[in-house]
Amino acid sequence: MSQGTRARRSDAERTVRAILEAAERVLSRNPAASMEQIAEAAGVARTTVHRRFASREALVEAMTEWATRRFAEAVDAANPDTTPPLVALYQVTANVLRVKIDWGFAMSRAPTAGPEVARVHAEVQDRCAELFRRARAAGVVRDDVDPEWARRVYYALIHEAAQSHGDPDALATRLVDTLLRGVGAERLRDAG
């Protein structure tokens, strides 16, 4: 591949990323925003957006796929298969919250997206289930806790934490603490 071809491909990738990021910002504020509004926010011509994405639906699908890849990369970056379970839980949580906060509009579309997005989410779900099994084996999660139930509660907490748009590290600390310790008073837990 020639230097010129690499430079053009790099420029095209930067343009697509600028459009996707602008679309996330614009559609988060106004889900009915037009392609023209997205182009303006990206600093490109409307024809540039249409050249890259045949329709608004194609753009939203591309955003969802982009965000889903970032989501999977966020999990991978925490090395949940080899890092001690408690450390991995905090790191996965902080990484995933960054993606969910930054790509909230696109991530909200993931459940209804295409087969590639569903495949990636299924892989992440399997890795999360394995992390909870490891956490239970390491004594981080009680033996009597169903790992699948813990994973589902964890997902719900992540969804709620992402809505607050706070600092991902602080949110991760609060979320994992809530997951592992609950919200009840210690004396109440001891009485049960």
Q: What is the CATH number of the domain that holds 36?
A: 1.10.10
Both 133 and 79 in one domain: the answer is yes
Domain final residue pick, 19, 38, 53: 53
Three-state secondary-structure class, residue 141: coil
Tell me the C-alpha distance between 144 and 72, whole Å.
29
Which of 15, 31, 53 is a domain's end point?
Answer: 53
Do 24 and 73 reside in the same domain of the chain? Answer: no
What is the pLDDT at residue 87?
A: 96
Q: Are the C-beta atoms of 171 and 178 separated by less than 8 Å?
A: no
- The pLDDT value recorded for residue 108 is 87
Q: Are 143 and 92 in contact (CB under 8 A)?
A: no
What is the pLDDT, as a whole number, of residue 183? 79
At residue 146, the pLDDT reads: 87
Answer whether 40's CB lies under 8 Å from 30's CB: no
Residue 115: what pLDDT?
Answer: 87
pLDDT of residue 148: 85
Are 38 and 72 part of one and the same domain? no
Distance CA 87, CA 74 (A): 14
Same domain, 136 and 101: yes
Answer yes or no: do 130 and 48 share one domain. Answer: no
Q: Tell me which residue range forms the domain holding 114.
A: 59-191
**What CATH number has the domain bearing residue 146?**
1.10.357.10
Same domain, 108 and 178: yes
DSSP 72-119: HHHHHHT-TTTS-HHHHHHHHHHHHHHHHHHTHHHHHTGGGS-HHHHH
Domain shared by 81 and 165, yes or no: yes
Q: What are the tokens at 120? A: 């990636």
Shared domain for 14 and 36, answered yes or no, is yes
| Tens digit of each residue's pLDDT, the chain (192 residues) | 666 666 566 677 889 999 999 999 999 999 999 999 999 999 999 999 999 999 999 999 999 999 999 999 999 999 999 999 999 999 999 999 999 999 999 988 876 778 888 899 999 999 999 999 999 999 999 999 888 888 899 999 999 999 988 899 999 999 999 999 987 776 555 555
Q: Are residues 138 and 48 in the same domain?
A: no
**Domains contained in the chain, number:** 2
- If asked whether residues 24 and 71 sit together in one domain, one would say no
Q: How far apart, in whole angstroms, are the C-alpha atoms of residue 82 and residue 103?
A: 27
